[in-house]
Chain A
Amino acid sequence: MYEFDWSSIPGALPFLWEGMKVSLGITACAVLFGIAWGTLLAMARLSSIKPLAWLAAGYVNLFRAIPLVMVLLWFFLIVPQVLRGFFNLDPNTDVRLASALVGFALFEAAYYSEIIRAGIQSVPKGQISAASALGMSYAQAMRLVVLPQAFRNMVPLLLTQAIVLFQDTSLVYVSALADFFGAAYKVGDRDGRLVELLLFAGAVYFLICFAASQAVRHYQKKLNAHAAH
């Protein structure tokens, strides 16, 4: 019978917290970049300029058809080389974090762009007509009229995606980054207490994501009640 021994956890908490900060940092960057780049992709996909729409569709379909872990590995192995080549970087500069972030954000942007595209399409066409009829350019109509409404409708979905994204950050451990999961793995490996550490890490992910989903659900209820009145 396996004897649980949790004693290595308290001492490792500061190290684990450092890992959690990396995970949260990656999540925040990827959410911000994913929404920004995803918005551009969504607008390109809905654009009447066909080649632009095709390019965006190709990008989205490509990234949605490849497992995240592969994208991360490629960006771990290839992008640092490319960056070194292009910018003549000092071989000692650690570009792994940047590389993981870029790959991760490019990947997540594909998912965000689909959410945002649906959000843009949920705004009635008449709103663009009304904005145009007032003399707004297409860009103004998008920025002032369509996107604010689209984002308001999308907030719950965007937050839910952020929760998925936070879980996905655990995959950056393949790039040997000390994110929360990677940190837990390291501690467990070092102390021969992998089972305990992985259970602990799982519990922490669960608590954070569960609490966050409850918060989103609560927010959505409020939003629906607001829309109904």
Chain B
Amino acid sequence: MISIQNVSKHYGAFQVLTDCSTEVKKGEVIVVCGPSGSGKSTLIKCVNGLEPFQSGTITVDGISVGDPKTDLPRLRSRVGMVFQHFELFPHMSITDNLTIAQIKVLGRGRDAATDKGLKLLDRVGLKAHADKFPGQLSGGQQQRVAIARALAMDPICMLFDEPTSALDPEMINEVLDVMVELAQEGMTMMCVTHEMGFAKKVANRILFMDKGQIVEDDAKDAFFGNPRSERARQFLAKILTH
């Protein structure tokens, strides 16, 4: 579904990604972790072309992201993305947030889009909030709306960039629950997160990044059992004691 081959990226002289390669198959859940500044966000944003990269190839569903001939907006409309800071559109009601891209990008009719949006809003447990504005919801609620907004586009896979790290601790689980459910339904997911409980529950593989490189790409049990690199071991020891 997602194939990343020898991807490198630099800002001027600063190397953000160095020769990153991995593969996400249909229905797989991949968790990406690593210290701050290791390039996790950059890597995941390369997958839908939000960040350009200088060398290597990324294909999503067989379509090359880096190819200048690729219709990026069209590709992005098929790849859901959830951000650390939710990024709901604050000037629109929750319903409009859920329907705007369906209408303007996919060309769906307003009624069909609203139907779909409200169904997904119900699914994340927020049906009663349809007419509110993002500013009236808690962080956890906003993030659930953001997930529903991405799902409304019928994505073929979902990208998450630290979806719970801006949330108060008591709201983290309501978002993780939605993500776990999504994973169990077979959604292909690439998640940057440090929620190791989530990783243990649903991840197929864990990528560990350090200084722009993927230093571990292990099946879940291997990673938690005995990661090969010293860095990953230290990192795990640190976040698991928190």
Contact = CB atoms under 8 A, between A and B. Distances in A.
A180 to B, nearest CB: 37
A67 to B, nearest CB: 38
Contacts of B78: 135
Contacts of B135: 229
A37 to B, nearest CB: 24
B231 interface: no
A152 B135 CA distance: 15
B50 A134 contact: no
Interface stretch (A23-31, A106-114, A136-144, A202-210): A136-144
A36 interface: no
B104 A136 contact: yes
Contacts of A89: none
A129 B74 contact: no
Contacts of A137: 73
B89 A140 contact: no
Interface of A: 124, 126-127, 129-137, 140, 144-145, 148-149, 152, 229
Interface stretch (B14-22, B80-88, B204-212): B80-88
Contacts of A229: 135
A25 B81 CA distance: 48
A135 B105 contact: yes
B101 A149 contact: no
Nearest to B146: A130
A134 B101 contact: yes
Given A129-B50, A152-B91, A134 B153 contact: yes
29 contacts: A124-B85, A124-B87, A126-B83, A126-B87, A129-B50, A130-B81, A130-B88, A130-B89, A131-B101, A133-B50, A133-B76, A133-B81, A133-B83, A133-B150, A134-B76, A134-B77, A134-B149, A134-B153, A135-B74, A135-B76, A135-B77, A135-B105, A136-B101, A136-B104, A140-B104, A144-B100, A145-B89, A149-B89, A149-B91
Contacts of A131: 89, 101
A100 to B, nearest CB: 36
Contacts of A133: 48, 50, 76, 79-81, 83, 150
B187 to A, nearest CB: 16
Given A133-B50, A134-B153, A140-B105, A126 B76 contact: no
A134 B150 CA distance: 7
Most chain A CB within 10 A, of B76, B79, B150, is at B76
Interface centre among A124, A129, A135, A136 (most CB of B within 10 A): A135
Contacts of B79: 133
Contacts of A145: 89
Contacts of B106: 135
Given A130-B81, A135-B76, A135-B101, 14 more contacts: A126-B83, A129-B83, A129-B87, A132-B76, A133-B79, A133-B83, A134-B76, A134-B149, A135-B77, A135-B153, A136-B73, A144-B100, A145-B89, A149-B89
A137 B80 CA distance: 16
Contact of A148 (B74, B81, B91, B101): B91
Contacts of A127: 87, 89
Interface residues of B, number: 27
B46 to A, nearest CB: 13
B89 A132 contact: no
Interface string B156-198: 0000000000000000000000000000000000000000000
Nearest to A127: B87
A30 B87 CA distance: 35
Nearest to A130: B87
Contacts of B109: none
A223 to B, nearest CB: 13
A137 to B, nearest CB: 5
Contacts of A148: 91
Nearest to B96: A144
A111 B149 CA distance: 38
B37 interface: no
Contacts of A149: 89-91
A108 to B, nearest CB: 26
B223 to A, nearest CB: 28
A127 B105 CA distance: 16
